[in-house]
Amino acid sequence: MKLSSLALLGLPFLYLTSALPKITRTGKYLYDESGSRFYIKGVAYQPQGEAAAESEANAANGGFPEPSSFHDPLSSPQNCTRDLPYLKQLGVNSVRVYSVNSSLNHDECMKTFSDNGIYVLLDVSLPLNGSIDRSSPSWSTNLLNEYISTIDAFRNYDNILGFNIGNEVITQVSNTNAAPYVKAAARDIKAYLKSVSSSALVGYSATDGDADFRNSLAEYLTCGGDDIAVDLYGLNNYEWCGDSSYNASGWNAIVSGMQDIPVATYMSEYGCIFSPPRLWTEVAALFSTPVSDVFSGGVAFSYFPTSDGYGMVTISSDGNTVTTSDDFNRLSTQYNATSPPNSPAKSSVTAGQTNCPSESSSLVASNTLPPTPNEQVCNCINEKALSCLVRSSTANSPTIVGDLLNYACQLLGSSTNGTASCDPIGGNGTSGTYGELSYCSPAIKLSYAMSAYYEFNPVDTSCDFAGNATLSPTRPNTAEDASSSASQCLSSEPSGGVFTPSPVSSSGASSTSSSATGSRSGSGTAPAGSNGGGASSSASVALSGSVLMGVVGVMGAVAGGALMVL
C-alpha cells in the first residue's frame, strides 16, 4: 500500500484542539485524567542504525553488537507526516523511540503525533558510550548530563508518556551487578523530574530469561518505594511464536511471576518471527484477562524494516513512499479489534511497595546504591588535584579511553607495590561499595589513573601515554598540596551523597542542588573499560577518605615517608 492521499486510506487527520490527557500511575495500573485505564497500544518507531563491532567484554556478558549510530525519527517533520496515516491505520496510541539527538528540533513531529492521539515512550540512553555499560557498569556524570539534556528537550511536550533509563542493560545473572546503577539512574531521574514538575513516568525495559532471573530483576528494580523504583517496567518478550496460546507460549508463567510487581508493567517489545507468518494472536491475549490484570499493553516490534526481518513496512529509496506488508495488515486488524477491560477502577487501587530482594543465585545486586554523580566534585578534582590530564581528542574516543584506563590501572598494580590503585574510581555492584570518584566521567577517571602513575615517577615521560596525556598547568606542587586540594573539593559533596540533580548548564554540566537530601548509599563498578563483569565483581573499593590514595600515597613513598591519606 502506497501513500498518495489520506482518502485512499479512509483515515482523516484528527487535529485535536486540547492537550492529550495526562497519563499517571496508581499502583500497578495506568490511568488517564478521567480515571479510565490506559493501555499502551504501541509500535517501535526507530530506523535501524549501523551495528558496532562486538567486544570481548560485552560478549562475555551475554551481549550483542550494539548500534554504533542512529537516526533520530522525531527530527524529520516530513517523515513523521509520511508515517502518521500508517500509525493510525495500525491503531496505535503510542510509539517507542530508542535514540534521539537532543540538540535537534522535535516540535513538529511531537505536535503531529500529539494532535493525533499518539504518546511517545522515549529511551534517553544512546548507543556506545551513552548508556550504562553492562560489562563495566557505572552511573556517571556524563550519563546523567546526557539523560537530563534529552529529558529537558522533551519534557514539556504533552504526549511524553515516559522516559526509559535503560534497555536490556542486564542480560544474564552474571551482570545483575549492573542493576544498582540502573536503579540509581531511576532514583536521580525521578528526583529531577519531580524538581521540574514533570509527571512523566520513568521506565526500564528488560530482556527476557528464565523465570528466576526474570522475576528477581523485576522485583529488584520495582522495590523500595516510589523514590527509587521505576514507574514502568517493560519486558522485551518474544515467546509467543506463530499461532500459540497463553499456556503454550509461557505467558502464563510470566503473568504469574509479575502479578505482585507494584508498578505498571508492559511488553516493551513483542512479536516473534520464528514461526512465520506473524499472526499477532498474542494481541488479543495481551488486552484481555488474565494478562490485562497484570500488564498494561505493549509495543510491537518494529514499524521500520530491520536487517533480521522484524520490520512491517518498507520505505522507498527517496524516503517518500511507504509500502506496508501483510505483517503490518495483520497487526492492524488485531490492534483495531481490541477492547481491553476498564478495570480495576482507579478509586479501588491501593498503591503499595515491596521489600527489596536479597542477593541470590539469580541476583548478584546489592541493595546499596551508588551516589548521585557530582559534576562539581569531579571537575574540582580534575582541575586542582591531578597532575596528568587526558587530551581532549583522546577523551572523545570511548574505546581509547577504556583501553588506556585498563593499561594505567595495570601499571599502578604492577609498578607501585600496592601503594596505589584504581580503587577510588572503581566500585562493586555486588558488594555495594564504591570509590569516592566512581561517578566521575571516564575521562576524569583516566586522568586520575595517569596522575597516580605520574606521581610514582614524576618525570615528563610518565605523563605521555603515547601522546594521549599532558601535564596540567595547574598541577599541585607536592603531595600535601594534592591532598589539601582534594579535601577542599570533597567538602562540597552533599551529606549522604544523594541529591536532586539540576538542569544541565551551558557548559554541559549538571550542578549540585542546594537542597540535598537522602542518605549516601553505594555500589560501584570497575573502572570504565575494565574487561567484563568478572572484573567489576571482584573489585574491592574502600570507603575511606583516601580519594587520592594512589597519587598521594605514591608521592609519599617516593619521598621516603609513610603512606599518606587525605
Q: How far apart are CA 148 and CA 325, in angstroms?
A: 38
CA 308 to chain CA centroid, nearest Å: 24
Q: What is the CATH number of the domain that holds 258?
A: 3.20.20.80
Q: What is the pLDDT of residue 61?
A: 55
Q: What is the CATH number of the domain that holds 434?
A: 1.20.58.1040
Q: What is the pLDDT of residue 107?
A: 98
161 plus 228 within the same structural domain = yes
In a domain, 70, yes or no: yes
Are 48 and 307 contacting, i.e. CB atoms less than 8 angstroms apart?
yes
Q: How far apart are CA 86 and CA 327, in angstroms?
A: 13
At 510, is the pLDDT very low, low, confident or very high (cuts 50, 70, 90)? low
In a domain, 498, yes or no: no
Boundaries of domain holding 484: 375-491
Residues forming a β-bridge with 295: 265
pLDDT at 104 over 50: yes
In a domain, 66, yes or no: yes
In a domain, 556, yes or no: no
343 plus 401 within the same structural domain = no
Q: How far apart are CA 278 and CA 300, in angstroms?
A: 11
314 plus 167 within the same structural domain = yes
In a domain, 544, yes or no: no
Q: What is the pLDDT of residue 58?
A: 55
At 89, is the pLDDT very low, low, confident or very high (cuts 50, 70, 90)? very high
272 plus 172 within the same structural domain = yes
- Do β-strands 322-324 and 313-315 pair in parallel, antiparallel, or remain unpaired? antiparallel
In a domain, 438, yes or no: yes
Name the DSSP letter for residue 259: T
Q: Is 436 a catalytic residue?
A: no
Kindly state the helix (H) or strand (E) to which residue 47 belongs, with its residue range. Answer: none
Q: What is the pLDDT of residue 65?
A: 57
Give the predicted TM-score (pTM) of the model: 0.86
In a domain, 110, yes or no: yes
257 plus 399 within the same structural domain = no
Q: Looking at the 3D structure of the chain, how many domains does it have?
A: 2
pLDDT digits (tens, 9 = 90+) for 359-384: 999 999 999 999 999 999 999 999 99
pLDDT at 550 over 70: no
Q: What is the pLDDT of residue 56?
A: 66
Q: What is the pLDDT of residue 537?
A: 27
At 99, is the pLDDT very low, low, confident or very high (cuts 50, 70, 90)? very high
Q: What is the pLDDT of residue 66?
A: 61
Give the mean model confidence (pLDDT) for residues 389-409: 92
239 plus 385 within the same structural domain = no
287 plus 395 within the same structural domain = no
Domain limit, last residue, from 458, 491, 524: 491
pLDDT at 541 over 50: no
Q: Is 168 a catalytic residue?
A: yes
CA 478 to chain CA centroid, nearest Å: 40
387 plus 338 within the same structural domain = no
pLDDT digits (tens, 9 = 90+) for 120-176: 999 999 987 789 999 899 999 999 999 999 999 999 999 999 999 999 999 999 999
Are 353 and 204 contacting, i.e. CB atoms less than 8 angstroms apart?
no
Instruction: Check residues 480 and 51 and name the one with the higher pLDDT.
Output: 480
Q: Which residues have CB under 8 Å from 381's CB, separation 6+?
A: 437, 440, 444, 448, 485, 486, 489, 547, 548
Q: Which of 168, 219, 375, 493 is catalytic?
A: 168
In a domain, 280, yes or no: yes
Mean of per-residue pLDDT scores for the chain: 86
Lowest-confidence region among 70-79, 281-290, 528-537: 528-537
201 plus 266 within the same structural domain = yes
Q: Which of 66, 146, 269, 436 is catalytic?
A: 269
